[in-house]
Amino acid sequence: MERDDIIEYSLDAHHSEEQGVILRKKIWKVTALLTAITVVEVMLGAFIKQHDAIWPLVKYSFIVMTLVKAAYIVLSFMHLGDERKALKYVILVPYIIFIIYLIFICLTESTYVRSIWESHAN
Amino acid sequence: MSGHATKEIDSATLWGGKISPFSTSYGKLMMWFFLVSDALTFGGLLIAYGFTRFNTLDAWPIGEETFNSMPFLGHGYPLLYVALMTFILIVSSVTMVLAVEAGHRMDKKGVVKWMIATIIGGFFFVGSQAWEWSHFIHGSEFGKVELADGSQAIVHGKFGELKNFTVTEAGKHYRKGDVITEDLRHQYQHAVVEGKVIGGANGGVITLHDGSIAKVNKAKDEHMKLIIKVKGAKYKLQDVIENEEASRMYYEAIDGHAHKVIYGANLKENEYGTQQYAQFFFFITGFHGFHVFSGVCINIIILMGVLRGVYHKRGHYEMVEKTGLYWHFVDLVWVFVFTFFYLV
Protein backbone atom coordinates (compact mmCIF):
# COMPACT_ATOMS: atom_id res chain seq x y z
CA MET A 1 0.00 0.00 0.00
CA GLU A 2 3.03 2.34 0.11
CA ARG A 3 2.41 4.50 -2.94
CA ASP A 4 3.41 8.13 -2.90
CA ASP A 5 1.00 9.10 -5.69
CA ILE A 6 -2.07 8.24 -3.62
CA ILE A 7 -2.96 10.34 -0.64
CA GLU A 8 -5.01 8.72 2.11
CA TYR A 9 -7.47 11.53 2.67
CA SER A 10 -9.31 9.45 5.25
CA LEU A 11 -6.44 9.64 7.71
CA ASP A 12 -7.06 13.38 7.96
CA ALA A 13 -10.63 12.72 9.03
CA HIS A 14 -9.50 11.30 12.37
CA HIS A 15 -10.30 13.29 15.45
CA SER A 16 -9.66 13.14 19.17
CA GLU A 17 -11.95 12.00 21.97
CA GLU A 18 -12.60 15.61 23.03
CA GLN A 19 -13.64 16.58 19.53
CA GLY A 20 -15.80 13.47 19.41
CA VAL A 21 -17.80 14.65 22.42
CA ILE A 22 -18.59 17.93 20.65
CA LEU A 23 -19.49 16.17 17.40
CA ARG A 24 -21.81 13.71 19.14
CA LYS A 25 -23.59 16.58 20.85
CA LYS A 26 -24.21 18.11 17.44
CA ILE A 27 -25.51 14.78 16.07
CA TRP A 28 -28.04 14.45 18.90
CA LYS A 29 -29.17 18.03 18.37
CA VAL A 30 -29.89 17.32 14.71
CA THR A 31 -31.71 14.13 15.74
CA ALA A 32 -33.97 16.06 18.08
CA LEU A 33 -34.72 18.57 15.36
CA LEU A 34 -35.57 15.93 12.75
CA THR A 35 -37.80 14.10 15.21
CA ALA A 36 -39.57 17.30 16.21
CA ILE A 37 -40.27 18.17 12.56
CA THR A 38 -41.65 14.68 11.92
CA VAL A 39 -43.94 14.91 14.96
CA VAL A 40 -45.27 18.28 13.80
CA GLU A 41 -45.86 16.89 10.31
CA VAL A 42 -47.81 13.89 11.58
CA MET A 43 -49.91 16.04 13.95
CA LEU A 44 -50.83 18.41 11.12
CA GLY A 45 -51.52 15.49 8.78
CA ALA A 46 -53.73 13.67 11.26
CA PHE A 47 -55.79 16.60 12.50
CA ILE A 48 -56.18 18.98 9.56
CA LYS A 49 -58.44 17.69 6.80
CA GLN A 50 -57.75 18.30 3.15
CA HIS A 51 -60.95 20.30 2.64
CA ASP A 52 -60.23 22.68 5.52
CA ALA A 53 -59.60 26.27 4.48
CA ILE A 54 -56.13 26.19 6.02
CA TRP A 55 -55.02 23.13 4.04
CA PRO A 56 -53.09 24.89 1.21
CA LEU A 57 -50.94 26.56 3.84
CA VAL A 58 -50.37 23.23 5.60
CA LYS A 59 -49.48 21.58 2.28
CA TYR A 60 -46.76 24.09 1.50
CA SER A 61 -45.48 23.96 5.06
CA PHE A 62 -45.10 20.18 4.60
CA ILE A 63 -42.91 20.76 1.58
CA VAL A 64 -40.82 23.37 3.39
CA MET A 65 -40.38 21.07 6.41
CA THR A 66 -39.37 18.23 4.09
CA LEU A 67 -36.71 20.39 2.47
CA VAL A 68 -35.40 21.45 5.88
CA LYS A 69 -35.13 17.79 6.93
CA ALA A 70 -33.43 16.91 3.64
CA ALA A 71 -30.93 19.75 4.07
CA TYR A 72 -30.01 18.57 7.57
CA ILE A 73 -29.58 14.98 6.41
CA VAL A 74 -27.36 15.91 3.46
CA LEU A 75 -25.29 18.65 5.06
CA SER A 76 -24.95 17.24 8.56
CA PHE A 77 -25.38 13.44 8.47
CA MET A 78 -23.72 13.00 5.09
CA HIS A 79 -21.14 15.66 6.02
CA LEU A 80 -21.49 17.42 2.69
CA GLY A 81 -21.44 20.68 4.65
CA ASP A 82 -17.88 19.87 5.81
CA GLU A 83 -16.55 19.11 2.35
CA ARG A 84 -14.71 21.47 0.02
CA LYS A 85 -16.89 24.06 -1.72
CA ALA A 86 -16.07 22.58 -5.13
CA LEU A 87 -17.48 19.18 -4.14
CA LYS A 88 -20.60 20.72 -2.60
CA TYR A 89 -21.36 22.57 -5.82
CA VAL A 90 -20.56 19.61 -8.08
CA ILE A 91 -23.10 17.49 -6.20
CA LEU A 92 -25.85 20.00 -5.48
CA VAL A 93 -25.99 22.55 -8.29
CA PRO A 94 -26.59 20.31 -11.34
CA TYR A 95 -29.08 18.21 -9.39
CA ILE A 96 -31.10 21.12 -8.07
CA ILE A 97 -31.22 22.90 -11.44
CA PHE A 98 -32.33 19.76 -13.25
CA ILE A 99 -34.97 18.80 -10.70
CA ILE A 100 -36.45 22.30 -10.56
CA TYR A 101 -36.67 22.28 -14.34
CA LEU A 102 -38.31 18.84 -14.32
CA ILE A 103 -40.86 19.81 -11.67
CA PHE A 104 -41.70 22.98 -13.56
CA ILE A 105 -42.15 21.31 -16.93
CA CYS A 106 -44.07 18.26 -15.65
CA LEU A 107 -46.51 20.21 -13.55
CA THR A 108 -47.10 22.73 -16.33
CA GLU A 109 -47.78 19.97 -18.84
CA SER A 110 -49.90 18.07 -16.35
CA THR A 111 -52.09 21.08 -15.67
CA TYR A 112 -52.65 21.37 -19.40
CA VAL A 113 -53.53 17.67 -19.70
CA ARG A 114 -55.99 18.12 -16.87
CA SER A 115 -57.72 20.99 -18.65
CA ILE A 116 -58.13 18.71 -21.68
CA TRP A 117 -59.66 15.94 -19.50
CA GLU A 118 -62.00 18.48 -17.96
CA SER A 119 -63.20 19.83 -21.29
CA HIS A 120 -63.88 16.26 -22.45
CA ALA A 121 -65.67 15.36 -19.23
CA ASN A 122 -68.25 18.10 -19.71
CA MET B 1 -14.55 16.47 10.75
CA SER B 2 -13.39 16.02 7.21
CA GLY B 3 -9.76 16.95 7.82
CA HIS B 4 -8.19 17.41 4.44
CA ALA B 5 -11.16 19.35 3.09
CA THR B 6 -10.68 22.06 5.69
CA LYS B 7 -6.95 22.57 5.02
CA GLU B 8 -6.01 25.83 3.34
CA ILE B 9 -4.56 24.86 -0.03
CA ASP B 10 -4.22 27.39 -2.84
CA SER B 11 -6.20 26.52 -5.94
CA ALA B 12 -3.11 26.23 -8.18
CA THR B 13 -1.90 23.30 -6.06
CA LEU B 14 -5.40 21.92 -5.61
CA TRP B 15 -6.16 21.80 -9.32
CA GLY B 16 -2.57 21.23 -10.48
CA GLY B 17 -2.77 17.44 -10.41
CA LYS B 18 -1.31 14.89 -7.99
CA ILE B 19 -4.05 15.50 -5.43
CA SER B 20 -7.83 15.42 -5.52
CA PRO B 21 -9.24 18.92 -5.95
CA PHE B 22 -12.14 17.77 -3.77
CA SER B 23 -9.88 16.34 -1.05
CA THR B 24 -11.77 13.07 -1.12
CA SER B 25 -10.74 9.59 -2.05
CA TYR B 26 -11.80 8.04 -5.32
CA GLY B 27 -14.23 5.68 -3.59
CA LYS B 28 -16.05 8.37 -1.67
CA LEU B 29 -16.36 10.59 -4.72
CA MET B 30 -17.80 7.74 -6.77
CA MET B 31 -20.29 6.98 -4.00
CA TRP B 32 -21.44 10.60 -4.21
CA PHE B 33 -21.81 10.41 -7.98
CA PHE B 34 -23.78 7.18 -7.69
CA LEU B 35 -26.05 8.80 -5.12
CA VAL B 36 -26.66 11.76 -7.43
CA SER B 37 -27.73 9.40 -10.20
CA ASP B 38 -29.91 7.40 -7.83
CA ALA B 39 -31.44 10.62 -6.55
CA LEU B 40 -32.29 11.49 -10.14
CA THR B 41 -34.09 8.15 -10.48
CA PHE B 42 -36.17 8.78 -7.39
CA GLY B 43 -36.69 12.41 -8.39
CA GLY B 44 -37.98 11.26 -11.78
CA LEU B 45 -40.34 8.74 -10.16
CA LEU B 46 -41.75 11.22 -7.68
CA ILE B 47 -42.20 13.86 -10.36
CA ALA B 48 -44.02 11.31 -12.53
CA TYR B 49 -46.27 10.72 -9.52
CA GLY B 50 -46.87 14.48 -9.31
CA PHE B 51 -47.61 14.63 -13.03
CA THR B 52 -50.28 11.93 -12.71
CA ARG B 53 -51.74 13.39 -9.58
CA PHE B 54 -52.07 16.86 -11.11
CA ASN B 55 -54.06 15.68 -14.10
CA THR B 56 -56.33 13.18 -12.31
CA LEU B 57 -59.92 14.29 -11.96
CA ASP B 58 -61.12 11.67 -9.45
CA ALA B 59 -60.38 11.90 -5.77
CA TRP B 60 -56.77 11.02 -4.95
CA PRO B 61 -56.45 8.78 -1.87
CA ILE B 62 -55.85 10.72 1.34
CA GLY B 63 -53.02 9.49 3.54
CA GLU B 64 -54.73 9.67 6.89
CA GLU B 65 -57.79 7.84 5.52
CA THR B 66 -55.81 5.13 3.78
CA PHE B 67 -53.19 4.39 6.42
CA ASN B 68 -54.90 4.41 9.79
CA SER B 69 -54.09 1.02 11.29
CA MET B 70 -51.68 -0.09 13.96
CA PRO B 71 -50.42 -3.64 14.51
CA PHE B 72 -52.41 -5.34 17.31
CA LEU B 73 -54.59 -2.26 17.81
CA GLY B 74 -56.73 -2.16 14.67
CA HIS B 75 -58.07 0.92 12.93
CA GLY B 76 -58.43 4.54 13.92
CA TYR B 77 -54.80 5.62 14.25
CA PRO B 78 -54.20 7.91 11.27
CA LEU B 79 -50.57 8.03 10.14
CA LEU B 80 -49.28 6.79 13.47
CA TYR B 81 -47.62 3.65 12.19
CA VAL B 82 -45.91 5.32 9.26
CA ALA B 83 -44.72 8.03 11.65
CA LEU B 84 -43.18 5.29 13.77
CA MET B 85 -41.50 3.81 10.67
CA THR B 86 -40.13 7.22 9.75
CA PHE B 87 -38.82 7.68 13.26
CA ILE B 88 -37.14 4.26 13.18
CA LEU B 89 -35.41 5.12 9.91
CA ILE B 90 -34.24 8.50 11.22
CA VAL B 91 -32.88 6.87 14.36
CA SER B 92 -31.04 4.23 12.32
CA SER B 93 -29.55 7.07 10.30
CA VAL B 94 -28.36 8.64 13.55
CA THR B 95 -26.76 5.42 14.76
CA MET B 96 -24.98 5.25 11.39
CA VAL B 97 -23.46 8.74 11.88
CA LEU B 98 -22.40 7.64 15.34
CA ALA B 99 -20.69 4.58 13.82
CA VAL B 100 -18.85 6.85 11.37
CA GLU B 101 -17.88 9.16 14.23
CA ALA B 102 -16.56 6.22 16.25
CA GLY B 103 -14.59 5.16 13.17
CA HIS B 104 -12.87 8.53 13.10
CA ARG B 105 -11.64 7.85 16.63
CA MET B 106 -10.50 4.34 15.62
CA ASP B 107 -12.94 3.03 18.23
CA LYS B 108 -13.67 -0.44 16.85
CA LYS B 109 -16.07 -1.38 19.64
CA GLY B 110 -18.10 1.77 19.07
CA VAL B 111 -18.31 1.12 15.32
CA VAL B 112 -19.54 -2.43 15.93
CA LYS B 113 -22.13 -1.31 18.49
CA TRP B 114 -23.62 1.45 16.35
CA MET B 115 -23.57 -0.57 13.14
CA ILE B 116 -25.51 -3.39 14.81
CA ALA B 117 -28.06 -0.81 15.98
CA THR B 118 -28.30 0.51 12.42
CA ILE B 119 -28.87 -2.95 10.99
CA ILE B 120 -31.60 -3.70 13.53
CA GLY B 121 -33.31 -0.41 12.66
CA GLY B 122 -33.09 -1.29 8.99
CA PHE B 123 -34.73 -4.69 9.52
CA PHE B 124 -37.47 -3.05 11.57
CA PHE B 125 -38.16 -0.66 8.76
CA VAL B 126 -38.28 -3.34 6.06
CA GLY B 127 -40.57 -5.44 8.24
CA SER B 128 -42.86 -2.49 8.87
CA GLN B 129 -43.02 -1.84 5.18
CA ALA B 130 -44.02 -5.44 4.55
CA TRP B 131 -46.79 -5.06 7.12
CA GLU B 132 -47.92 -1.81 5.53
CA TRP B 133 -48.00 -3.43 2.08
CA SER B 134 -49.94 -6.40 3.35
CA HIS B 135 -52.47 -4.07 4.91
CA PHE B 136 -52.72 -1.99 1.77
CA ILE B 137 -53.23 -5.10 -0.37
CA HIS B 138 -55.82 -6.77 1.86
CA GLY B 139 -57.73 -3.58 2.49
CA SER B 140 -60.25 -2.59 5.10
CA GLU B 141 -63.07 -4.71 6.47
CA PHE B 142 -65.76 -2.81 4.60
CA GLY B 143 -63.97 -2.18 1.32
CA LYS B 144 -65.03 0.43 -1.21
CA VAL B 145 -68.68 0.22 -2.24
CA GLU B 146 -70.49 1.25 -5.40
CA LEU B 147 -73.83 2.84 -4.56
CA ALA B 148 -77.11 2.74 -6.45
CA ASP B 149 -76.53 6.07 -8.24
CA GLY B 150 -73.18 4.90 -9.65
CA SER B 151 -71.04 6.79 -7.13
CA GLN B 152 -68.31 5.02 -5.18
CA ALA B 153 -67.64 5.48 -1.49
CA ILE B 154 -64.98 4.41 0.97
CA VAL B 155 -66.35 3.25 4.32
CA HIS B 156 -65.23 4.14 7.82
CA GLY B 157 -66.50 2.72 11.09
CA LYS B 158 -66.30 -0.37 13.22
CA PHE B 159 -67.08 -3.57 11.35
CA GLY B 160 -69.29 -5.84 13.44
CA GLU B 161 -67.39 -8.99 14.38
CA LEU B 162 -68.18 -12.17 12.41
CA LYS B 163 -68.88 -14.85 15.03
CA ASN B 164 -69.73 -17.92 13.01
CA PHE B 165 -71.65 -19.31 10.04
CA THR B 166 -74.34 -21.94 10.72
CA VAL B 167 -74.95 -24.15 7.71
CA THR B 168 -78.63 -24.48 6.88
CA GLU B 169 -78.34 -26.22 3.53
CA ALA B 170 -75.58 -28.75 2.86
CA GLY B 171 -73.09 -28.31 0.00
CA LYS B 172 -70.22 -30.47 -1.27
CA HIS B 173 -68.11 -29.92 1.81
CA TYR B 174 -70.23 -28.80 4.77
CA ARG B 175 -73.22 -30.65 6.24
CA LYS B 176 -76.38 -29.15 7.61
CA GLY B 177 -75.93 -27.91 11.15
CA ASP B 178 -72.14 -27.40 10.86
CA VAL B 179 -70.89 -24.29 12.63
CA ILE B 180 -67.97 -22.66 10.81
CA THR B 181 -65.68 -20.55 12.95
CA GLU B 182 -62.50 -20.33 10.90
CA ASP B 183 -61.38 -18.04 8.10
CA LEU B 184 -64.67 -16.16 8.35
CA ARG B 185 -63.55 -12.76 7.11
CA HIS B 186 -61.93 -14.18 4.00
CA GLN B 187 -64.97 -16.28 3.09
CA TYR B 188 -67.34 -13.40 3.83
CA GLN B 189 -65.45 -10.95 1.61
CA HIS B 190 -65.18 -13.52 -1.15
CA ALA B 191 -68.96 -14.06 -1.04
CA VAL B 192 -69.68 -10.31 -0.95
CA VAL B 193 -67.63 -9.75 -4.10
CA GLU B 194 -69.56 -12.53 -5.84
CA GLY B 195 -72.91 -11.17 -4.66
CA LYS B 196 -73.58 -14.18 -2.47
CA VAL B 197 -74.48 -12.40 0.76
CA ILE B 198 -78.12 -11.50 1.12
CA GLY B 199 -79.75 -9.39 3.84
CA GLY B 200 -76.42 -8.26 5.25
CA ALA B 201 -76.99 -5.63 7.97
CA ASN B 202 -78.08 -8.18 10.57
CA GLY B 203 -75.88 -10.98 9.31
CA GLY B 204 -78.07 -12.41 6.61
CA VAL B 205 -77.47 -15.50 4.54
CA ILE B 206 -74.24 -16.48 2.78
CA THR B 207 -73.65 -18.96 -0.03
CA LEU B 208 -70.24 -20.53 0.57
CA HIS B 209 -67.78 -21.61 -2.13
CA ASP B 210 -68.86 -25.28 -1.92
CA GLY B 211 -72.48 -24.31 -2.59
CA SER B 212 -73.72 -24.73 0.96
CA ILE B 213 -75.91 -22.02 2.43
CA ALA B 214 -75.30 -20.68 5.91
CA LYS B 215 -76.72 -18.17 8.33
CA VAL B 216 -74.21 -15.43 9.25
CA ASN B 217 -73.88 -14.64 12.94
CA LYS B 218 -72.48 -11.13 12.94
CA ALA B 219 -72.39 -8.29 15.48
CA LYS B 220 -73.82 -4.95 14.46
CA ASP B 221 -71.56 -2.42 12.71
CA GLU B 222 -71.01 0.83 14.55
CA HIS B 223 -70.41 4.44 13.51
CA MET B 224 -70.57 3.70 9.80
CA LYS B 225 -69.63 6.54 7.51
CA LEU B 226 -69.58 6.59 3.70
CA ILE B 227 -67.30 9.12 1.98
CA ILE B 228 -67.92 9.56 -1.74
CA LYS B 229 -64.76 9.20 -3.84
CA VAL B 230 -66.21 8.88 -7.34
CA LYS B 231 -69.22 11.01 -8.08
CA GLY B 232 -72.49 9.53 -9.33
CA ALA B 233 -75.90 10.76 -10.41
CA LYS B 234 -76.85 11.84 -6.90
CA TYR B 235 -73.72 12.27 -4.79
CA LYS B 236 -70.72 14.59 -5.31
CA LEU B 237 -67.08 14.08 -4.33
CA GLN B 238 -66.44 14.13 -0.55
CA ASP B 239 -70.15 13.88 0.35
CA VAL B 240 -70.53 12.06 3.67
CA ILE B 241 -73.36 9.72 4.66
CA GLU B 242 -73.50 8.59 8.27
CA ASN B 243 -74.86 5.94 10.67
CA GLU B 244 -78.17 4.13 9.86
CA GLU B 245 -78.43 5.71 6.45
CA ALA B 246 -74.86 4.64 5.65
CA SER B 247 -75.47 1.10 6.88
CA ARG B 248 -78.72 0.81 4.91
CA MET B 249 -77.11 2.02 1.67
CA TYR B 250 -74.03 -0.16 2.10
CA TYR B 251 -75.98 -3.40 2.57
CA GLU B 252 -78.49 -2.45 -0.07
CA ALA B 253 -75.58 -2.15 -2.52
CA ILE B 254 -74.08 -5.55 -1.72
CA ASP B 255 -77.38 -7.39 -1.21
CA GLY B 256 -77.14 -10.12 -3.81
CA HIS B 257 -75.20 -7.90 -6.25
CA ALA B 258 -71.81 -9.04 -7.50
CA HIS B 259 -68.78 -6.73 -7.86
CA LYS B 260 -70.18 -3.84 -5.87
CA VAL B 261 -67.37 -3.96 -3.35
CA ILE B 262 -63.60 -3.77 -3.81
CA TYR B 263 -61.33 -4.90 -1.00
CA GLY B 264 -57.78 -3.59 -0.85
CA ALA B 265 -55.48 -2.57 -3.66
CA ASN B 266 -53.47 -4.24 -6.36
CA LEU B 267 -52.40 -3.35 -9.89
CA LYS B 268 -55.95 -3.73 -11.23
CA GLU B 269 -58.15 -2.18 -8.56
CA ASN B 270 -57.75 0.14 -5.63
CA GLU B 271 -60.13 0.42 -2.72
CA TYR B 272 -58.76 3.75 -1.54
CA GLY B 273 -59.28 5.84 -4.66
CA THR B 274 -57.61 6.48 -7.98
CA GLN B 275 -56.00 3.42 -9.50
CA GLN B 276 -52.69 5.12 -10.42
CA TYR B 277 -52.05 5.76 -6.74
CA ALA B 278 -51.69 2.03 -6.15
CA GLN B 279 -49.30 1.62 -9.08
CA PHE B 280 -47.08 4.44 -7.86
CA PHE B 281 -47.33 3.27 -4.26
CA PHE B 282 -46.15 -0.22 -5.12
CA PHE B 283 -43.41 0.94 -7.44
CA ILE B 284 -41.93 3.80 -5.44
CA THR B 285 -42.21 2.39 -1.93
CA GLY B 286 -41.14 -0.98 -3.35
CA PHE B 287 -38.08 0.53 -5.00
CA HIS B 288 -37.26 2.35 -1.79
CA GLY B 289 -37.78 -0.82 0.25
CA PHE B 290 -35.39 -2.58 -2.10
CA HIS B 291 -32.84 0.14 -1.39
CA VAL B 292 -33.31 -0.29 2.36
CA PHE B 293 -32.92 -4.05 2.06
CA SER B 294 -29.74 -3.80 -0.02
CA GLY B 295 -28.52 -1.14 2.43
CA VAL B 296 -28.98 -3.58 5.30
CA CYS B 297 -27.10 -6.26 3.35
CA ILE B 298 -24.20 -3.91 2.58
CA ASN B 299 -24.12 -2.83 6.22
CA ILE B 300 -23.88 -6.47 7.30
CA ILE B 301 -20.99 -7.10 4.89
CA ILE B 302 -19.12 -4.03 6.16
CA LEU B 303 -19.87 -5.03 9.76
CA MET B 304 -18.17 -8.36 9.11
CA GLY B 305 -15.15 -6.44 7.80
CA VAL B 306 -15.13 -4.34 10.95
CA LEU B 307 -15.36 -7.43 13.17
CA ARG B 308 -12.47 -9.07 11.34
CA GLY B 309 -10.44 -5.91 11.88
CA VAL B 310 -9.85 -5.24 8.18
CA TYR B 311 -10.37 -1.50 8.47
CA HIS B 312 -8.53 -1.22 11.75
CA LYS B 313 -5.46 -2.69 10.10
CA ARG B 314 -5.92 -0.33 7.17
CA GLY B 315 -5.70 2.58 9.59
CA HIS B 316 -9.05 4.18 8.80
CA TYR B 317 -12.77 3.34 8.67
CA GLU B 318 -13.60 4.99 5.37
CA MET B 319 -15.62 1.98 4.21
CA VAL B 320 -18.03 2.61 7.08
CA GLU B 321 -18.27 6.22 5.97
CA LYS B 322 -19.11 5.19 2.40
CA THR B 323 -21.86 2.75 3.36
CA GLY B 324 -23.02 5.44 5.76
CA LEU B 325 -23.48 7.78 2.79
CA TYR B 326 -25.68 5.20 1.09
CA TRP B 327 -27.67 4.58 4.25
CA HIS B 328 -28.34 8.29 4.80
CA PHE B 329 -29.41 8.55 1.20
CA VAL B 330 -32.07 5.89 1.81
CA ASP B 331 -33.33 7.95 4.74
CA LEU B 332 -33.28 11.07 2.57
CA VAL B 333 -35.47 9.44 -0.09
CA TRP B 334 -37.92 8.28 2.57
CA VAL B 335 -38.33 11.85 3.81
CA PHE B 336 -39.71 12.75 0.38
CA VAL B 337 -41.75 9.56 -0.10
CA PHE B 338 -43.30 10.13 3.32
CA THR B 339 -44.35 13.67 2.40
CA PHE B 340 -45.79 12.94 -1.01
CA PHE B 341 -47.52 9.62 -0.31
CA TYR B 342 -48.72 10.08 3.23
CA LEU B 343 -48.94 13.75 4.12
CA VAL B 344 -49.81 15.91 1.14
Query: Which of B83, B329, B335 is closest, CB to CB, to A66?
Result: B335
Residue B286 or A6, more confident: B286
B124 found inside a domain: yes
Residue B201 to residues A53, B148, B160, B204: CA-CA distances in angstroms? 37, 17, 9, 7
What is residue A4's predicted lDDT score, i.e. its pLDDT?
53
- For B11, half-sphere exposure in the C-beta direction (CA atoms, 13 angstrom radius) is 3
| Total domains in the fold of chain B | 2
Mean pLDDT of all residues in A48-68: 91
Q: Which of B218, B247, B268 is where one domain is finished? A: B268
Domain at B91, CATH number: 1.20.120.80
B294 in the same domain as B245: no
B44 in the same domain as B123: yes
> What count of CB pairs under 8 Å joins A to B?
188
Residue B325 with chain A: CB contacts under 8 Å: 78
B11 found inside a domain: no
B178 in the same domain as B246: yes
The answer to whether residue A47 scores a pLDDT higher than 80 is: yes
B168 found inside a domain: yes
The list of chain B residues with pLDDT below 50 reads 1
Residue A38 with chain B: CB contacts under 8 Å: 83, 86-87, 90
B305 in the same domain as B251: no
Mean pLDDT of all residues in A78-106: 94
B318 in the same domain as B261: no
* Window 46-105 of A, Cβ < 8 Å to B: 46, 50-51, 59, 62-63, 66, 69-70, 73-74, 77-79, 82-84, 86-87, 90-91, 94-95, 98-99, 102-103
A4 touches chain B (CB under 8 A): no
Q: Which domain holds residue B252?
A: 144-268
The alpha-carbon gap from B25 to the nearest alpha carbon of chain A, in Å, equals 6
Mean pLDDT of all residues in A44-72: 91
Tell me the Ramachandran region of residue B195: left when phi exceeds 0, alpha when psi lies from -120 to 50, beta otherwise.
Answer: left
ipTM of the complex: 0.92
For residues B72 and B344, what is the distance between their CA atoms, to the nearest angstrom?
27
B224 found inside a domain: yes
Q: Which of B238, B268, B298 is where one domain is finished? A: B268
The alpha-carbon gap from A102 to the nearest alpha carbon of chain B, in Å, equals 7
For residues B32 and A94, what is the distance between their CA atoms, to the nearest angstrom?
13
Contact across the interface for A27 and B98, Cβ inside 8 Å: yes
B74 in the same domain as B157: no
B281 in the same domain as B264: no
B263 found inside a domain: yes
B148 in the same domain as B109: no
- pTM for the model: 0.89
B30 found inside a domain: yes
* Contact in structure between B265 and B219 (CB atoms under 8 Å): no
B92 found inside a domain: yes
Residue B79 with chain A: CB contacts under 8 Å: 42, 45-46
Residue B20 with chain A: CB contacts under 8 Å: 7, 9
Q: Which of B235, B268, B301 is where one domain is finished? A: B268
Q: Where are the alpha helices (DSSP H) in chain A?
A: 17-47, 55-72, 85-121
B217 in the same domain as B258: yes
B152 in the same domain as B132: no
B91 found inside a domain: yes
* Contact in structure between B202 and B210 (CB atoms under 8 Å): no
B67 in the same domain as B164: no
Helix (H, G, I), strand (E, B) or coil at B222: strand
Query: Parallel, antiparallel, or unpaired: how do β-strands B162-169 and B69-70 relate?
Result: unpaired
> Cα(first)–Cα(last) distance of chain A, in Å?
73
Please, what sign has the CA dihedral across residues B84, B296, B95, A70?
negative
B155 in the same domain as B262: yes
The alpha-carbon gap from B272 to the nearest alpha carbon of chain A, in Å, equals 15
For residues B122 and A16, what is the distance between their CA atoms, to the nearest angstrom?
29
* Contact in structure between B270 and B262 (CB atoms under 8 Å): yes
Q: Is A5 exposed, middle or buried (0-12, 13-18, 19+ CB in 10 A)?
A: exposed
What is residue B1's predicted lDDT score, i.e. its pLDDT?
46
Residue type, B115: M
* Contact in structure between A41 and B343 (CB atoms under 8 Å): yes
